[in-house]
């Protein structure tokens, strides 16, 4: 059990760290692209045709992919006003229901995102001449990250319970 816990901790940590760095890279690219488009448009009177679609690609990947990162740390937005009032067993039951809902959403993202990626494979994004399936592939990738993040979240909870 200890070996499995260690393996999950390292693997999940590596995957989620990689996803975090990918989000940072997408943010940096988006800033660089938008600044380039701004300076090109207002100072040089030249607007690159690829600027807006490339910035949109980075924005889509950044926004959707980054939504999975707070789940592992259990740092997503939540209402904690009832945590002091409700019994611990009820809070645990609500956590399990929340986990089930997020897991169901992740499975939906994987399934529907994969189908959308396949459907959009023949569409080309103008300006960057990239298949639209690359933009839509963020959905199944994020769905898988949600599953990994939920596993990591519950691995940490179980580890904390065993330490008490």
Q: With left for phi above 0 and alpha for psi between -120 and 50, is residue 97 left, alpha or beta?
A: alpha
Q: What is the pLDDT of residue 2?
A: 74
Q: What is the pTM of this model?
A: 0.85
Percent of the chain scoring above 70 in pLDDT: 96
For the residues 38-50, what does the mean pLDDT come to? 91
Q: What number of other Cβ atoms are within 10 A of residue 96's Cβ? A: 11
Q: What is the mean pLDDT of the chain?
A: 89
What's the Cα-to-Cα distance from 125 to each of 66, 84, 128, rounded to whole Å? 23, 51, 6
Query: Facing residues of 130 across strands?
Result: 125
Displacement of CA 162 from its chain's centroid (Å): 29
Residue 162 has pLDDT above 80, yes or no: no
For 60-116, what is each residue's pLDDT tens digit? 999 999 999 888 877 777 777 777 888 888 888 888 898 899 999 999 999 999 999
Displacement of CA 152 from its chain's centroid (Å): 14
Spatial separation of the C-alpha atoms in residues 126 and 46, rounded to whole Å: 18
């Amino acid at each position: 059990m200890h070996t499995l816990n260690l393996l999950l901790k390292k693997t999940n940590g590596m995957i989620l760290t990689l996803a975090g760095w990918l989000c940072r890279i997408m943010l940096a690219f988006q800033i660089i692209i938008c600044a380039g488009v701004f300076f090109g448009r207002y100072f040089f009177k030249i607007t690159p045709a690829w600027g807006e679609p490339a910035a949109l690609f980075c924005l889509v990947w950044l926004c959707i992919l980054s939504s999975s990162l707070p789940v592992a740390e259990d740092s997503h937005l939540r209402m904690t006003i009832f945590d002091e009032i409700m019994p611990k067993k009820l809070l645990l039951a609500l956590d399990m229901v929340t986990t089930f809902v997020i897991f169901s959403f992740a499975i939906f993202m994987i399934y529907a995102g994969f189908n959308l990626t396949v459907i959009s494979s023949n569409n080309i994004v103008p300006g960057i001449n990239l298949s639209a399936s690359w933009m839509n592939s963020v959905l199944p990738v994020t769905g898988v990250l949600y599953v990994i993040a939920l596993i990591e979240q519950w691995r940490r909870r179980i580890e904390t319970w065993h330490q008490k």
